[in-house]
């Protein structure tokens, strides 16, 4: 699903630049501005290496034009907890819930527009009514209002589904050999028999939690072989 | 679990203020600065209603002092994908995975320090080596480096959902004794000197990731004492 980020009447150019950077950080490109403040040096400075996104941002005069062609319009709000009897702001989904809802929707031509309001007063009731769903980031009651660019960062982080590299975990059979080896070394050390089973299990749990790589298992077994060798020589 | 956010030598006061605001947005209070730039008007402006957090931020001269008393030290890095053969930066967990790992640990006295590096060059290898685990936000390859305050926002958003359990993690000083003991045993084993440093670091990474309990450290040290004893007797 294509995600479009719409900033509705943003007041601070620095935020617009920061948000261009965040889009690029998470691999998005579609930035749309409705009646923005002038894009000054502060914006270009905050955009850093995302000047192409800032340069390519489309500008419209109305939110209606900005959301044109969207299959889904998601409004954001920092206000929550109003009664369910009022249908404008409720219910506001968490970013996580929105991600779940968007998952499984067909990609390709589908566009979800996420609309962020002004830094001071957010979206008006009229603007919120144009939205299909509302989203709100769970924050502390004491100070729920986030900086605009931080809110965009959190939403895009949640919605992005980028994997993190390709750590090669150890094979199950290498792990089993490591655990056997550990148990063997405990035996050779003369570890108290009545504690051995429990301790072997503890070692399995520790190394299991650590999610060992193939390389780490190799090095650990090298240490155990050295213990074997020294014990035998002794 | 108590979360401490440590900014190591931040260069821009605006970021420090923004980060104070993010902490308050997500209900955190413990902000620690190591050798920060001067806290000027920009910082107070960006902090908005989080001036109390900015005012209460503790300042230290070394990362060692800043992390004192932490049960777990988590370093952050924007660099990923190095080979598994190098033990310094690999593996870096996603914030989601860190949340899962921290879930279930006992609240109260346990402190997890999350260390963020300089805006330009992040954390040095030496600083990364002081950490028990590494965390990296999954970003687009084309432009992976996030603004510092945005990275903190994403991490705190993800961690603000941690479940509380009753697992009591090992003290920092018990962990340090374990690591010393491991290094000592490698020496006694005649482990090749040119590999020793790298292997000690690998062991720290493995046990760091495993989040050892006090009990587990106790049992592991018992095994090491037995190795000592048998080697000496031999």
A56 touches chain B (CB under 8 A): no
% chain A with pLDDT above 90:
52
What single DSSP character describes residue A50?
Answer: G
Query: Which of A219, A222, A228, A232 best probes binding to B when mutated, by most B CB atoms within 10 angstroms?
Result: A219
Answer yes or no: is pLDDT of A19 > 90. Answer: yes
* Portion 137-176 of A in contact with B at CB < 8 A: 137-140, 142-147, 149-150, 153-154, 157-158, 160, 162-168
Sheet-wide strand order for B2-8: B58-60, B30-34, B2-8, B111-116, B72-76, B133-135, B92-93
Q: By residue range, what is the domain housing residue B91?
A: 2-159
CATH number at residue B222: 1.10.8
Per-residue pLDDT for B210 more than 90? no
Q: Does B84 reside within a domain? A: yes
Cis ω before A51 (30° cut-off from 0): no
Residue A153 has a pLDDT of 97
Q: How many domains does chain A have?
A: 2
The pLDDT assigned to B153 comes to 97
The pLDDT value given to residue A49:
95
Q: Is residue A166 domain-resident?
A: no
Q: What is the mean pLDDT of chain A?
A: 86
Residue B166 resides in a domain? no
Return the residue in A47, A139, A141 with the most chain B beta carbons within 10 A, the one to mutate for interface testing.
A139
Q: Is B192 on the interface with A (CB under 8 A)?
A: no
The complex's ipTM works out to 0.76
Q: Is residue A164 part of a domain?
A: no
Claim to verify: residue B178 and residue B62 sit in the same structural domain: no
State the pLDDT confidence band at A231, using cuts at 50, 70 and 90: confident
The pLDDT-based confidence of A2 (bands split at 50, 70, 90) is confident
**The pairing of beta strand B72-76 with beta strand B111-116:** parallel
Query: When comparing pLDDT for A2 and B178, which is higher?
Result: B178
pLDDT of amino acid B169: 83
**Mean pLDDT for the stretch of residues B207-231:** 89
Mean of all residue pLDDT scores within chain B: 89
Assess if residue B165 is contained within a domain: no
**pLDDT tens figures, B61-107:** 999 999 998 989 999 998 764 544 555 555 788 999 999 888 877 65
Residue B178 has pLDDT above 70, yes or no: yes
Beta-carbon contacts below 8 Å between A and B = 163
pLDDT reading at A88 higher than 80: no
Residues B139 and B205 in one domain: no
Q: Are residues B205 and B113 in the same domain?
A: no
Least confident of A48-57, A124-133, A159-168: A159-168
- For A182, which residue in chain B has the nearest alpha carbon? B223
Is residue A155 domain-shared with residue A178, that is, in the same domain? no
Q: Which of the listed ranges A53-67, A219-233, B101-115 does the model predict with the highest average pLDDT?
A: A53-67
pLDDT confidence band for A17 (50 / 70 / 90): very high
B17 belongs to a structural domain:
yes
Q: Domain boundary residue among A115, A131, A159?
A: A159
Residue A48 in domain? yes
Note whether A12 contacts B: Cβ–Cβ < 8 A: no
Query: Do B187 and B100 have their domain in common?
Result: no
- Average pLDDT on A83-102 reads 68
**pLDDT for position A97:** 85
Least confident span in A123-132, A201-210, B115-124, B202-211? A201-210
Give B141's pLDDT tier (boundaries 50, 70, 90): confident
* B73 contact partners, CB below 8 Å, separation of at least 6: B67, B112, B113, B115, B130, B131, B132, B133
In a domain, A165, yes or no: no
pLDDT one-digit tens code per residue, A163-191: 444 566 677 788 889 999 999 999 999 99
Residue after which a domain boundary falls, among A128, A159, A190: A159
Q: What angle do CA A134, A135, A139 make, to 5 degrees?
A: 140
A233 touches chain B (CB under 8 A): yes
Task: Note the pLDDT of residue B191.
Answer: 92
A36 and A110 share one domain: yes
Greatest mean pLDDT range, A20-29, A124-133, A224-233: A20-29
For residues B151 and B184, state if they share a domain: no
Q: What is the pLDDT of residue A85?
A: 40
Picking from A58-67, B101-110, B193-202, B215-224, which range would have the lowest pLDDT averaged per residue? B101-110
Q: Is B189 on the interface with A (CB under 8 A)?
A: yes
Mean pLDDT, range B194-212, rounded to an integer: 88
φ, ψ of residue B72 to 5 degrees: the values are -145, 130
Could you tell me if B188 and B221 lie in one domain?
A: yes
The CATH number of residue A76's host domain is 3.40.1280.10
Q: How many Cβ atoms from other residues are within 10 Å of residue A200's Cβ? A: 17
- Residue in B212, B198, B210 with CA at minimum distance from that of residue A222: B198
| Nearest chain A CA: its distance from B83 CA (Å) | 8
This prediction's pTM: 0.80
Mean pLDDT, residues A92-120 taken together? 80
Question: Which burial class, exposed, middle or buried, applies to B210 when counting CB atoms under 10 A from its CB (0-12, 13-18, 19+)?
Answer: buried
**B135 and B190 share one domain:** no
- B145 and B58 co-located in one domain: yes
Q: Please name the residue of chain B whose CA is at the shortest distance from the CA of residue A78.
A: B25
For A63-89, what is the mean pLDDT?
Answer: 73
Residues B133, B97 share a domain = yes
Answer whether residue B182 shows pLDDT above 50.
yes
Task: Determine, for residues B138 and A163 on separate chains, whether the beta-carbon distance falls below 8 Å.
Answer: yes
Structural domain ending residue among the three candidates B129, B159, B189? B159
Provide mean pLDDT across the span B175-201: 91
Q: What angle do CA A125, A127, A129 make, to 5 degrees?
A: 70
- Return the H-helix or E-strand segment holding A92: strand A92-93
pLDDT band of A83, cuts 50, 70, 90: very low
Same domain as B150, residue B193: no
Q: Which of the two residues, A38 and B213, has the higher pLDDT score? A: A38
pLDDT of A219 above 90: yes
Task: Give kind and range of the element (H or E) at residue A8.
Answer: strand A2-8
């Amino acid at each position: 699903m294509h995600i479009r980020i719409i900033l509705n009447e943003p007041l601070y150019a620095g935020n617009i630049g920061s948000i261009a950077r965040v889009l690029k950080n998470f691999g998005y490109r579609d930035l749309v501005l409705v009646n923005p403040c002038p894009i000054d040096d502060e914006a270009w400075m905050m955009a850093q290496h995302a000047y192409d996104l800032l340069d390519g941002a489309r500008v419209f005069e109305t939110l209606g034009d900005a959301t044109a062609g969207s299959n889904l319009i998601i409004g954001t709000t920092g206000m929550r907890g109003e009664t369910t009897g009022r249908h404008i702001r409720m219910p506001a989904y968490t970013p996580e819930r929105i991600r779940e809802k968007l998952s499984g929707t067909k990609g390709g031509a589908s566009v979800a527009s996420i609309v962020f309001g002004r830094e001071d007063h957010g979206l008006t009731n009229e603007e919120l009514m144009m939205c299909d769903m509302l989203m709100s980031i769970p924050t502390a009651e004491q100070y729920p209002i986030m900086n605009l660019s931080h809110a965009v960062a959190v939403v895009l982080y949640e919605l992005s589904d980028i994997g993190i590299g390709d750590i090669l975990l150890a094979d199950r059979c290498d792990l089993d050999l490591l655990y056997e080896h550990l148990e063997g070394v405990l035996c050779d050390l003369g570890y108290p028999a009545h504690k051995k089973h429990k301790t072997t299990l503890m070692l399995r749990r520790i190394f299991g939690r650590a999610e060992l790589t193939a390389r780490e298992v190799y090095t650990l077994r090298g240490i155990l072989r050295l213990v074997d060798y020294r014990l035998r020589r002794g």
